[in-house]
Amino acid sequence: MRPASIAALAAVVISSYSGSASALGSTAYTEADRGRVINAVAGPGTETPDAATPIAQVTVPVIAHTEGEIPLCTGVLIAEDLVLTAAHCVPDPATKDKVEILYDLDPKRTTPDLYKDAGTSRIFSTQYVRHETYRRSTGIFDIPYGIDLALVRLTPSLTGRAVASLPSAGLELSDDGVDVTVAGWGSRGPDAGYGLRSGTVRMRPSFSLLSQEEGKAEYEPGAVTICPGDSGGPAFSLQSGGPPVVVAVHSYRIGYCPNARGKATYVPSWIGWIEAKSAELRGRKD
């Protein structure tokens, strides 16, 4: 593979995606934020961010109401009316079951049941789409098949909200990898509840046996890892003076939290799909 130009993302990101996205303005990421790490993404290398930081503003809990279950995932606002998440975090679109997006939560809160909290701001949506290749695992390891990516349309849209940017299509990831900031609203540990945390990990191309997995990446085990509830959450490339750039979406982990190896969908490989499905969702009348 050719070395990635991911370290120079500021020059190639798609800012204010698809017209309806707002700029971060006064909440833009600065050099002072680089050392901040937000922890349900868990491990000793994490902490909770202030509500005013861009990562806290664009990272949202995602809840699928399906088959009597209410599982918690994470997503990222890529436009005022669009949330990018994992395919296994939303129901089969044919069911018309609801997806619930929570927002304006205090990132420093810790609660066992985010969706039950009175006064939580939320939007319910039945307008969502999963990547066509995605198949839910039926095995004991619960590993998603295909491309684990989904889009949810918000109606009404979150007008005036900060949103994350997308990278250019086809941006390559070198075998040496790159440091990214992962975020999620998942578990902080046994009996510790759920809350927003993040941290910095090394992301490399993902390999299955001896071959590289197209459009996928993995996070090295270390001081930070993804945990239950972080699925669908973003991995960011942070650029001084600009919005966070979403370079991956958490898919699953191999091993037990907090010492697991995380697997992710590499976003630059699927920009065309995101653009096409965004237009499709916005054109729906239902």
* Domains identified in the chain, total number: 1
Torsion region of 260: left, alpha or beta (phi above 0 gives left; psi -120 to 50 gives alpha): beta
List the beta bridge partners of residue 81.
none
Q: Which of 88-97, 207-216, 221-230 has the highest mean pLDDT?
A: 88-97
The continuous run of DSSP H or E covering 266 comes out as strand 261-266
Which pLDDT score, from 0 to 100, does residue 105 have?
A: 82
Per-position b or e across 35-71, b if 16+ CB within 10 A of its CB: ebbbbbbbbebbebbeeebbbbbbbbbbbbbeeeeee
Q: 10 Å Cβ neighbour count for 26? A: 7
Q: Do 220 and 201 meet the contact criterion of CB atoms below 8 Å apart?
A: yes
245: CATH:
2.40.10.10
Q: Kindly report, residue by residue over 189-210, the tens digit of the pLDDT.
A: 656 667 788 888 899 998 775 5
What's residue 243's pLDDT?
87
- Domain assignment present for 245: yes
- The answer to whether position 67 is within a domain reads yes
Is residue 96 assigned to a domain? Answer: yes
The residues pairing with 121 across neighbouring beta strands, listed in sequence order, are 103
Per-residue pLDDT at 1 exceeds 50: no
In this predicted structure, the answer to whether residue 31 has a pLDDT above a threshold of 80 is: no
Q: What type of residue sits at position 110?
A: T
Mean pLDDT of 218-239: 85
251 has a pLDDT exceeding 50: yes
Higher per-residue pLDDT: 224 or 179? 179
Q: Does residue 1 form part of some domain?
A: no
Quote the pLDDT of residue 8.
38
137-142-144 Cα angle (round to 5): 50
232 in a domain, yes or no?
yes
Averaged pLDDT for residues 73-92: 95
| pLDDT for the residue 109 | 67
Mean pLDDT of the chain: 76
Residue 39 is given by DSSP the state S
In DSSP terms, which residues pair with 184 in a beta bridge? 197
pLDDT tens column, 37-80: 223 344 444 456 667 788 989 999 999 887 656 678 999 999 99
pLDDT value of residue 249: 96
- pLDDT for residue 211: 55
The pTM is what? 0.81
- What DSSP string runs through 59-87? EEEEEE-BTTB--EEEEEEEETTEEEE-G
Please give the residue range of the domain that contains residue 65.
6-282
Whether 278 is in a domain gets the answer yes
Question: What contacts 170, CB < 8 A, 6 or more positions away?
Answer: 268, 269, 271
CB 226 within 8 A of CB 253: yes
- Which of 51-65, 85-99, 101-115 is the least confident region? 101-115
Q: What would the pLDDT profile of 127-149 be if each residue is shown by its tens digit?
A: 999 999 998 766 555 677 889 99
Asked whether residue 30 is domain-assigned, the answer is yes
Q: Is 106 within the bounds of a domain? A: yes
Residue 212: in which H helix or E strand, if any?
strand 211-219
3-class DSSP state of 6: helix
